[in-house]
Amino acid sequence: MKKVVIIGGGTAGTMMANALAKGMGEKLKNGDVSVTMISDKKEHLYQPGLLYIPFGLKTEEEIIRPVKEVVSPLIDIVFDEATQFSTEQKQVKTKSGKTFSYDYLIIATGSRPAVEEVPGLEEAGHIFYTLDGAKKLQKAMEEFEGGNVVMAVGLPHKCPVAPLEFTMMFDDWAREKGIREKTNITYCYPLQKPYGTESVAKLATKEYTERNINIETFFMIDHVDAEKKEVVALDDTRVPFDLLVMIPPHKGADVTVKSSLTDNDEGWLPTDRQYLNHVDHDNIFVIGDATNLPISKAGSTAHFEVEILAENLISMIDGGQANKRYNGKVFCFIETGLHKATYIAFNYEQPPKPVTPSKAVHWAKLSYNNAHWINLKGIL
């Protein structure tokens, strides 16, 4: 029996498990192949939904489902935390002391905001990238009656466009609440423009200028001075805030940070850009945010990676070859306020070109959000 072990039950792990179940149903039923998914969470959180929580536009119930409900019954689900990869023995060890052998290992452990790397942040700032953080921010926004609002962004982080979206949505929200004239919004970004790629930076600059949002460039976050209520950059530039929202730089999951499979302090795993195997191992694959690939850490990235890897892996299990190659394809919607959106599609070679923001694209994004649960099952 060939054994496939997937670590992580988020977007990439779940889509991969379901794609394998769909493509190898008979083999899984006959016991020729087993697929085990090790997830340290019993609930699947639809993270793009977190963007809407601070504005009261989505509820917790709408963005959470039990992992067991979203994964095919043909997959063995183990709720445990992977703590160690033993590549020579082809085994994964878990927190509860169990050992899982594999022929093929798929690492889909995601990324997380490294809040602990920014002193003062937890005390004085808000992060909508976690459910608790998004709910806390919703409460703070309910009580907010005007003042200095700062969105400070560190790199790298998942969903590169989410801070832009939040800022433009916040501007609309403040206008609709009637407090925009008493509100000063500043966007702090570590580069010389408000986004890494030229076309999106241009779109953001245009929108921010029209909306009277300040842009503080070359702002490398150092710490938050909770007493003075200032966010402080490495060069000691200080931006005062009454409400601070921050996307701190991200790291990989603890298990990858500590693993010998990584070559960097953040735990990103060196991944072949076309075949998605770990560069030193033909039987270990990395998908989703956990890779070191030069492409957005996004659910969409995971989606397109899974399409490639599932087909290749099924072929390899059948004794064939990996024939499909990932070209870095990503598709992302971008909310440009509460009522309009644009989208970008790009890959390793072709940079994004945002379309003119419209209500129609905004409604398409909302429909896509609602379709996440069927998307996870590979139906879209």
Ligand X SMILES: Cc1cc2nc3c(=O)[nH]c(=O)nc-3n(C[C@H](O)[C@H](O)[C@H](O)COP(=O)(O)OP(=O)(O)OC[C@H]3O[C@@H](n4cnc5c(N)ncnc54)[C@H](O)[C@@H]3O)c2cc1C
Residues paired with residue 244 on neighbouring β-strands, in sequence order: 150
Min dist. Cβ of residue 149 to ligand X (A): 17
Distance of CA 134 to the CA centre of its chain: 15
Q: Which residues between 311 and 370 bind ligand X (CB under 6 A)?
A: 332-333
81 binds ligand X (CB under 6 A): yes
Choose which of 251, 289, 337, 354 interacts with ligand X (CB under 6 A).
Answer: 289
- CA-closest candidate to residue 52, choices 152, 213, 162, 153: 162
Nearer Cβ to ligand X (17/233): 17
Q: Which residues between 135 and 164 bind ligand X (CB under 6 A)?
A: 158-159, 162
CA distance 278 to 118: 30
Min dist. Cβ of residue 235 to ligand X (A): 28
Cβ-contact 137, 129 below 8 angstroms: no
Amino acid at 14: T
Cβ-contact 94, 38 below 8 angstroms: yes
How distant, in Å, are the alpha carbons of 10, 81, 352 from that of 65?
A: 11, 19, 32
- Structure tokens belonging to residue 224: 């938050």
Nearer Cβ to ligand X (103/254): 254
Nearer Cβ to ligand X (150/376): 376
168 binds ligand X (CB under 6 A): no
Min dist. Cβ of residue 43 to ligand X (A): 9
315: helix, strand or coil: helix
CA distance 44 to 279: 29
Residue 93 exposure: Cα atoms within 13 Å on the Cβ side: 10
Antiparallel, parallel or unpaired: β 243-247 and 76-79: unpaired
What 8-state DSSP symbol labels residue 290?
Answer: G
Nearer Cβ to ligand X (67/233): 67
Torsion of CA 322, 264, 115, 51, to 10 degrees: -30
- CA-closest candidate to residue 67, choices 380, 378, 376: 376
Min dist. Cβ of residue 317 to ligand X (A): 22
310 binds ligand X (CB under 6 A): no
Nearer Cβ to ligand X (230/304): 304
Nearer Cβ to ligand X (128/268): 128
Gap between the terminal Cα atoms of the chain: 31
- Structure tokens belonging to residue 115: 């809040």
> In what order do the strands lie in the sheet containing 238-240?
221-225, 230-233, 238-240
- Structure tokens belonging to residue 212: 């009277």
48 binds ligand X (CB under 6 A): yes
User: Nearest-CB residue to ligand X?
Assistant: 10
110 binds ligand X (CB under 6 A): yes
Distance of CA 319 to the CA centre of its chain: 34
Nearer Cβ to ligand X (186/300): 300
249 binds ligand X (CB under 6 A): no
> Which residue stretch of 96-104, 106-114, 142-150, 338-346 sits at the interface with ligand X (rule: CB under 6 A)?
106-114
Nearer Cβ to ligand X (129/180): 129
Nearer Cβ to ligand X (183/291): 291
Q: Which residues between 205 and 234 bind ligand X (CB under 6 A)?
A: none
Q: Which residues between 10 and 29 bind ligand X (CB under 6 A)?
A: 10-13
Amino acid at 253: A
> Which residue stretch of 103-111, 118-126, 182-190, 264-272 sits at the interface with ligand X (rule: CB under 6 A)?
103-111
298 binds ligand X (CB under 6 A): yes
Min dist. Cβ of residue 371 to ligand X (A): 12
Residues of this chain that bind ligand X (CB under 6 A): 7-13, 38-41, 47-48, 50-51, 81-82, 108-110, 128-129, 158-159, 162, 253, 255, 288-290, 297-300, 302, 332-333
